[in-house]
Amino acid sequence: MTAATLSTPASRSGKPAGRPAGLVTRADERSYIRVLVVLDTTVLIIALLVGYVTRFGDDQPSGTEVPYVLVAPGLVLAWLVSLKALGCYDDRVIGYGADEYRRVSSASLRLAGAIAIAGYIADVGVSRGFLGISFAVGTVGLEVARFAARKRLHRARSRGAGWSRKVLVVGDTAHVLELVHTLRREPYAGYHVVGACIPDALLAPVAQRLGDVPVVGSFRGIPEAATAIGADTVAVTASGELTAARLRRLGWQLEGTGVDLVVAPALTDVAGPRIHTRPVAGLPLIHVEAPEFRGARKLVKGFVDRSASSLALALLLPLIAFIALAIKLDSRGPVLFRQVRVGRGGQEFGVFKFRTMVVNADALLAELAARNETDGLMFKMRDDPRVTRVGRLLRKWSLDELPQLVNVLLGQMSLVGPRPPLPSEVARYGGDVARRLLVKPGMTGLWQVSGRSDLSWEDGIRLDLYYVENWSLAADLTILWKTFGAVLNSRGAY
C-alpha cells in the first residue's frame, strides 16, 4: 500500500470484454512499462552509436585499449538500472505530470556524474567526447521518447481505452460528486472512477448511484468494496465520519492488497510548486504559498515578452505583409481591426487583430444574438456569417492574432496569460472572476491549448484563474509549445 496526494499520476483504462476489470488494469500497466523499457533501450543504443560515430567516425579508436564493444552494452545496462533505481518506471509517476521527466533527467545526470568520477579515480581511458555526446543525445532522446509514449497514452485514455487505474472514491456525497467531476474534467490524466463508498447514514436499502457512479458500500467495508469492483486505488475525500484514526486504520487494511491509497484535500487548482508538506506532530500540514503578482520573476517575464515579440515581428514581417494584402483584396475595409479590451488592473487598451469580419460586424451582432453557441458572457458561432473568406482561414490558423505582438511589445499584453476580455464582459464580472485582471492578458494561454472556443464559459474562467494563481516561466514555455499543436490541429478555432 502506498499513500499519496491526488496529484499522484494515474490513468484511465478501457478493458476488453470478458476479462476481470482488476486484471486488465494491471496487464495494461505492465504492457505500457514494457513499451517504455523497449523505447528507452532503443534510444540508448542509438545515442551510443551517435556518440561513437561522432567521436571516432569510421576509424577505429587509436592509442587506447578500451573495448568499446563491451563498454557500450555495459553503459546501456547501467543507464537502465539508473532509470529503474530513480523510479522512472513507477506506475505512480509515468503517464502524467512533470515528475517523470525530472526523474529521467536526474537518472541520466547522476549516472554521467558517477561515471565521470569513477573514470577519473580508476584512470580509465574511455573517451570523454564519446561519453559527453552519448549522454547528451541519450538524455534528450529519452525525454522525447517518453513524451511521444505519453501522448499516445493520453489519446487512448481520452477514448476510454489504454492503461489506467480504477478508483473507488470514499467520502460524503457532495465531496464524492465534486471529486468525480474534477477527475473527469481531464480524462487523459487517467483517474477512472468505478464506484463510491459513503457514510452509513446515507446508505439506502436499495442500490444507489451518485450520478452514474454506483455506491458499492459504506466506510465499514472499503477494502472489500475495492476488491469487489476491481479497484486498484482508493481516493479518500472529505467526510466528517472519516477521522484520522479511521483513515490510518484504512491504510493498514490496504497493506499487501496491491490497492493504493490517495488522499484528496479540499484544495483544488493549486500548482505543485506552491504546495509544501511539513509534518507537525505526525500531522502532514499542507502549506500553500501566496500567488506572486510582482517581483523579480515578473520583471523577467516582461523582458522575455518584449524581446520575443520584437524578434517575432522581425521574422514574421513577410507573412504579415502577405496577410495584409490578402485581406485588402478579399473585402472592403481596413486591414487591421482595433478593439477595446481590458488589461491588468482594469485598464483599457486597444488590441490589434487582422480584420476577419465585414466592416459592419458590430451592427449585425444584435441580429445574431439568439444564435450564440456558447454560455457565459461571450458570443461564438461556428458559421458566423460576418466572417470573410480570408477571415475564416486566418481564424483557423490563429493568424488573425499576429498583430497582438505589437500589444506585447508595448507592454499591454503578455505572450501567455488569460484571454483579454471586453469591457462589457468585465462590467458583468462577479466574485472571483475579477481576479483575471491581476495579470496581463495573453496572446495565448491555457484556454487556447485546452480547446479555445469549444470550452464552456465556466471551464475557460477556471483555466484563466488557475494560470493567474500558478503562473511560472516554465509553465509559459510549456503553453507556448502546446500552442503550436493547438493551432496546427485547429481545435476550437472558429
Q: Provide the whole-model pTM.
A: 0.68
Cα 153 to chain center, whole Å?
13
pLDDT value of residue 193: 92
The rounded mean pLDDT for the chain is 83
pLDDT, tens digit (0-9, with 9 covering 90-100), for 273-310: 677 777 776 667 777 777 777 778 889 999 999 999 99
Q: Return the exposure string of 233-268: e unless at least 16 CB atoms fall within 10 Å of the residue's CB, then b.
A: bbbbbbbeebeeeebeebbebbeeeebbbbbbbeee
CATH 3.40.50.1980: which residues of the chain?
Answer: 164-268
Q: Is the pLDDT of residue 182 over 50?
A: yes
Q: How far apart are CA 26 and CA 100, in angstroms?
A: 19
Cα 208 to chain center, whole Å?
34
- Residue 186, classed as helix, strand or coil, is coil
pLDDT value of residue 367: 62
Q: Find, among 374, 369, 414, 375, the residue nearest to 494 by Cα.
A: 374
One-character DSSP codes across 33-53:
HHHHHHHHHHHHHHHHHHHHH
CATH 3.40.50.10490 at 164-268, yes or no: no
DSSP label at residue 18: T
Percentage of the residues of the chain whose pLDDT score is greater than 90: 38
pLDDT, tens digit (0-9, with 9 covering 90-100), for 448-464: 887 665 677 778 888 88
**Grid coordinates in use for 255?**
497493506
Mean pLDDT of 333-351: 92
Higher-confidence residue of 136 and 494: namely: 136
